[in-house]
Structure 1
């Protein structure tokens, strides 16, 4: 009987050791997540970014300010790089608005008016260059596109301005992701 009790104690001890190893492993793997920071993927010497007014190749009124403000706001909200003025920065995000297009997406047909556009898609395309001022070189130069749909009749709350804002949010997110992952 003592022998069986001894076997039970050894078996129980092995189970406890395996449990302790699993707990330690889980704690160590989770501790890496607690330490993780998006900052770690950026060049170490770049602490801030200037975002001057984007150039505009479209005929859209006041779009330069709208696009620039939206992208600056995205950087401020994400808090990855501090937004600085161009004279005192480590990097600059230059941008050009290449195009803004409204294209019919959904049509309706009625006896009175014939065929009408029920929904449009606005597509915004920008080109961005992230420039390292300290090393005096371009980190990347890419084009980004964002789009969203809107109701031209005003029957819904989603108008062109809202769709344009959603398009710019997509672009801002893509730019920030490129800075974090691709440079």
Structure 2
């Protein structure tokens, strides 16, 4: 009886680990969609070139994911259209002398994922992402924090947002 109980306990401990290892995200897009067109995003902000960098980041996120093939219009089953609707930068923290020691930047986008075969919108959404960064003149640099320029922080932000857009399209979150 003790051997039987040990086997049950061992199985109950190992089974959840085995099930967890087999998890793969569920693809929410219809099975007929294999190729996606991602035209250059529109840009309603003052940040020149942001639309090209975000579009390229989103394309790279889809290529790395590999579940949809990025194609040009005419060869695609679906289209992901995007628009950068806002870019914001605000101070988060000041030093004793009133200088900004940390900033937060964020980008807000409007997205539409469209089924070109059945001629219907699959979803539309607004996504926003943000990052914080410490400018080079910050007192925090003397305390061991790594400084960044706004452009470097913006690169991190665009990568983070690109991955989120691809995930929203394929996995639904």
TM over 0.5: yes
- Is 1:177 the equivalent of 2:167? yes
C-alpha separation between the residues in 1 aligned to 2:30 and 2:20? 21
Paired position in structure 1 for 2:113: 130
Residue 70 of structure 2 corresponds to: 83
Partner of 2:131: 148
CA change 1:37–1:84 in 2 (3 A) is farther
Match of 1:164 among 148, 154, 158: 154
Compared CA separation, residues 16 and 108, structure 1 to 2 (3 A): closer
Bigger Rg, which one:
1
Q: Following the alignment from structure 1 to structure 2, what is the Cα–Cα distance between the partners of residues 132 and 95?
A: 15
- Greater relative CO (CA pairs within 8 A, separation 6+): 2
Change (3 A) 1:117 1:32: closer
Give the drift of 1:31: 7.3
Aligned in 2, Cα 1:16/1:150: closer, same or farther, shift over 3 Å?
A: closer
Deviation at 1:141, TM superposition (A): 0.7
- Deviation, 1:164, is 1.2
For residues 58 and 135 of structure 1, the distance between their equivalents in structure 2, rounded to whole angstroms, comes to 33
Q: Secondary structure at the match of 2:53?
A: helix
- Map 1:80-119 → 2, pairs under 5 A: 80-110=67-97, 115-119=98-102
Q: Name the CA distance, whole Å, in 2 between partners of 1:33 and 1:52.
A: 36
SS in 1 for 2:126: strand
Aligned length: 166
Q: Determine which of 57, 61, 71 is the counterpart of 2:58.
A: 71
Measured against aligned partners, the alpha-carbon deviations of 1:8-32 in whole angstroms (never above 9, x if no partner) come to: xxx58xx469849x76xx67x9479
TM-score by length of 1: 0.75
TM-score, length basis structure 2? 0.79
Gaps of 5+ in 2: none
For residues 79 and 38 of structure 1, the distance between their equivalents in structure 2, rounded to whole angstroms, comes to 13
Give 1:118 deviation, angstroms.
1.2
Q: Point out where structure 1 has 5 or more consecutive residues left out of the alignment.
A: 1-10
Equivalents in 2 of 1:144, 1:101: separation in Å? 14
Residues 104 and 130, structure 2, Cα contact 8 Å, conserved in 1:
yes
Measured on the aligned residues, the alpha-carbon RMSD in Å equals: 2.9
